[in-house]
């Protein structure tokens, strides 16, 4: 009973309190994949991880650059296309194309090898977007791989007042709720779009969620401080919500939260486990083609050398995997 009372008191202290800022910095551009440029907000020396998040890349990639055949284990990835088009293919036979506004939730689980390549558009527009890596709870590290492609039309939009639009990708914002069961690890993902400076916003997060903001365009004022484009702002889980105002016209930002996982993070590139021993085992499985990587030896994607716009229809995914 005493413990229940302490929990209730803690909850009351965080109710209706704005979350304070723990850390902030500007995501610097770096090279990744084959010729791609990314701004990495999570996954560098500045911030290795922010449970349950392992990486956030704001990528810009144009042919012939891309992310050719590579493995994953023990994590989920969320890819959000903001411009251009991306083709994807993996060793299970899954393949498809993500257009502007589309998302893909991929659970690597025990193992996947896939390729993500920008479509060579007639307009020469590069593929631009966000890719978020999310840790899996220890008991799900070896689950079967799965995909959930989310089309732009499937993400509802909240318009709570003039000059503010929120794409509700995962979670609930201003009473508008997303589709459910997009990822195994509970994640909230919102794309805020403002049209004029001084536009206020607020977003609630559960007590057991970490949360952060990434500024895509313009500038945002949070807790009295102005953060310019490419700023990454990480919040303490000491309040019920995040709030602020746009500090420029046409400001855009992602507000993302996820359930805090109380487990070690041992990462070797795209392999994520809870101990060094398990990482070594996964790496051996990948090299030997075992325990989830049976299809890896000898597999190569058909898009690793590029895909033209007139071939897109051949890669349209018929159903979710």
Instruction: Decide if pLDDT at 17 tops 80.
Output: yes
Query: Which of 138, 154, 170 is at the close of a domain?
Result: 154
The structural domain count of the chain equals 2
For the chain, what is the mean pLDDT?
92
Mean pLDDT calculated for residue range 4-13? 53
Residue numbers in the known binding site for Fe cation are 70, 72, 114, 116
**Residue that wins the pLDDT comparison between 7 and 47:** 47
Are 54 and 131 part of one and the same domain? Answer: yes
Q: What CATH number corresponds to the domain at position 50?
A: 2.60.120.10
Are 240 and 226 part of one and the same domain? Answer: yes
Instruction: Decide if pLDDT at 217 tops 60.
Output: yes
Mean pLDDT calculated for residue range 12-40? 86
Are 74 and 162 part of one and the same domain? Answer: no
The enclosing H or E element of 30 equals strand 29-32
Interatomic CA distance for residues 11 and 310, integer angstroms = 55
Q: Give the structural domain span for 82.
A: 25-154
User: Against a cut of 0.85, is the pTM above it?
Assistant: yes
Question: What is the DSSP code (8-state) at residue 172?
Answer: E
Query: Which of 154, 189, 217 is at the close of a domain?
Result: 154
Mean pLDDT calculated for residue range 63-88? 94
Q: Give the tens place of pLDDT for each residue, 102-127.
A: 999 999 999 999 999 999 999 999 99
Residues 6+ apart with CB under 8 A from 259: 52, 185, 186, 187, 206, 208, 209
Residue numbers in the known binding site are 70, 72, 114, 116
Interatomic CA distance for residues 55 and 269, integer angstroms = 11
DSSP string, 96-153: EEE-TT-EEEEE-TT-EEEEEEEEE-TT-PPEEEEEEEEEPPGGGTTPPPEEEEE-GG
Residue 271 lies in a domain: no
Mean pLDDT calculated for residue range 202-220? 98
| Residue 8 pLDDT level (bands cut at 50, 70, 90) | low
Are 41 and 137 part of one and the same domain? Answer: yes
Are 180 and 214 part of one and the same domain? Answer: yes
């Amino acid at each position: 009973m005493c413990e229940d009372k302490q929990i209730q008191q803690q909850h009351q202290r965080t109710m209706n309190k704005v979350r304070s800022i723990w850390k902030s910095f500007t995501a610097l551009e770096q090279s990744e994949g084959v010729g791609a440029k990314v701004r990495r907000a999570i996954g560098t020396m500045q911030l290795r991880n922010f449970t349950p998040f392992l990486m956030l890349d704001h990528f810009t990639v144009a042919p012939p650059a891309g992310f050719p055949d590579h493995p994953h284990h023990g994590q989920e990835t969320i890819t959000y296309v903001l411009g251009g088009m991306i083709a994807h293919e993996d060793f299970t036979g899954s393949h498809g194309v993500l257009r502007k506004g589309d998302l893909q939730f991929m659970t690597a689980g025990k193992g996947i090898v896939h390729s993500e390549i920008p479509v060579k558009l007639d307009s020469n527009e590069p593929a631009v977007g966000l890719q978020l890596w999310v840790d899996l709870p220890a008991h799900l590290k070896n689950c079967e791989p799965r995909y959930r492609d989310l089309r732009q039309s499937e993400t509802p939009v909240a318009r709570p007042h003039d000059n503010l639009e929120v794409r509700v990708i995962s979670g609930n914002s201003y009473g508008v709720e997303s589709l459910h069961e997009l990822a195994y690890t509970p994640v909230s993902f919102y794309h805020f779009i403002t049209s004029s400076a001084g536009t206020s916003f607020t977003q609630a997060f559960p007590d057991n969620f970490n949360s952060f903001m990434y500024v895509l365009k313009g500038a945002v004022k949070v807790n009295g401080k102005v953060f310019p484009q490419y700023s990454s702002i990480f919040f303490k889980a000491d309040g019920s919500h995040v709030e602020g105002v746009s500090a420029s016209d046409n400001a855009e930002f992602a507000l993302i939260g996820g359930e805090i996982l109380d487990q070690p993070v041992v990462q070797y590139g795209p392999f994520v486990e809870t101990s060094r021993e398990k990482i070594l085992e996964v790496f051996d499985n990948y090299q030997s083609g075992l325990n989830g990587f049976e299809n890896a030896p000898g597999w190569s994607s058909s898009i690793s050398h590029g895909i033209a716009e007139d071939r897109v229809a051949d890669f349209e995914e018929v159903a979710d995997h």
